[in-house]
Amino acid sequence: MMTPLELTRAGLVEYTEALSDQRRIHLEVAQGVRPNSLLLLQHPSVYTAGKRTTDLEKPTDGTPVIDVDRGGKITWHGPGQLIGYPIVKLAKPTELVGFVREIEAGIIKVCTEFGIITQRVDGRSGVWVCDERGDRKIAAIGIRVAQGVSMHGFALNVNPELEAFNTIIPCGISDAAVTSMAVELSRDISVDEVIPVVEKYLLESLMNFFFQAEDGIRASPE
């Protein structure tokens, strides 16, 4: 049976408001009163600090810094960056790695659609541009699972002000750069242009994940 996925385009939303919305939807999905959901939005400029972020790693330039309950270190969100929060009930908690891989696969297809060749990098989450100029991160992923349901998600750099990353070590990775679709394409590109393509391929990837999970349950011995 196909697992429904509710898509929401939320626009520009303050991070704390979006986090509150995530937690409400997360609870409803966990209780089975709401279908799996994917929120697509942007945030005003904000730094979010994962559990492994130290106080010394937090910038003091006046931009809000919010501690969050995901893994990893600090990153930046802001206009021009497309944020996706897949709030999805996993059949088994051990499926998290496969879930992240499907999200990465969807983002790779999005970038390919726009003529940007991207890939995964062993030992590093997210989606990367890798060529003679070095490795450059174009999308970050950070997922938390509670009560068997995912929250937080991915951030795809469409056309943000990348200078905001200069005051931090994004995701704790000091030996690689951050890039955007606009930089790689050498042209202006808007989040509105990218959203329908993200919806297409993320829906495809997430449905693929659901089918694989259902097949795994049917194949598992009792």
Span 89-106, average pLDDT: 88
Q: Helix H segments across 32-133?
A: 96-113
Q: pLDDT (tens digit, 9 = 90+) per residue, 171-198?
A: 555 556 899 999 999 999 999 999 999 9
Is the pLDDT higher at 218 or at 9?
A: 9
How big, in percent rounded to 5, are the helix, strand and coil portions of the chain?
40, 30, 30
Q: Say yes or no to pLDDT of 208 above 50.
A: yes
Is the pLDDT higher at 68 or at 108?
A: 108
Q: Are 97 and 71 in contact (CB under 8 A)?
A: no
Total length of the chain: 222
Would you name the residues annotated as active-site residues? 171
Residue 8, beta-bridge partner list: 39
**Share of residues in the chain with pLDDT > 90 (%):** 65
Main-chain dihedrals φ then ψ at residue 52, nearest 5 degrees:
-95, 5
Q: Are 45 and 83 in contact (CB under 8 A)?
A: no
What pLDDT score does 139 carry? Answer: 97
Most confident residue range from 66-70, 96-100, 107-111: 107-111
Domains and CATH numbers, the chain: 5-219 (3.30.930.10)
Residue type (1 letter), 64: P
Q: pLDDT (tens digit, 9 = 90+) per residue, 49-96?
A: 888 888 888 888 899 999 988 777 888 999 999 999 999 999 876 788
Q: Say yes or no to pLDDT of 30 above 80.
A: yes
Q: Say yes or no to pLDDT of 222 above 60.
A: no
Q: Are 113 and 201 in contact (CB under 8 A)?
A: yes
What is the spatial distance between Cα 57 and Cα 48, in angstroms, rounded to a whole number?
Answer: 11
Q: Say yes or no to pLDDT of 2 above 90.
A: no
Report the chain's terminal Cα–Cα distance, integer Å: 20
**Residue 114, token pair as written in the block:** 């726009």
Q: Please give the mean pLDDT across all residues of the chain.
A: 88
What pLDDT score does 1 carry? Answer: 41
Span 143-167, average pLDDT: 92
For 14, 111, 145, 208, the CA distances from 34, given in Å and listed in that order, are 23, 30, 17, 20
What pLDDT score does 3 carry? Answer: 60
Is the pLDDT higher at 77 or at 3?
A: 77
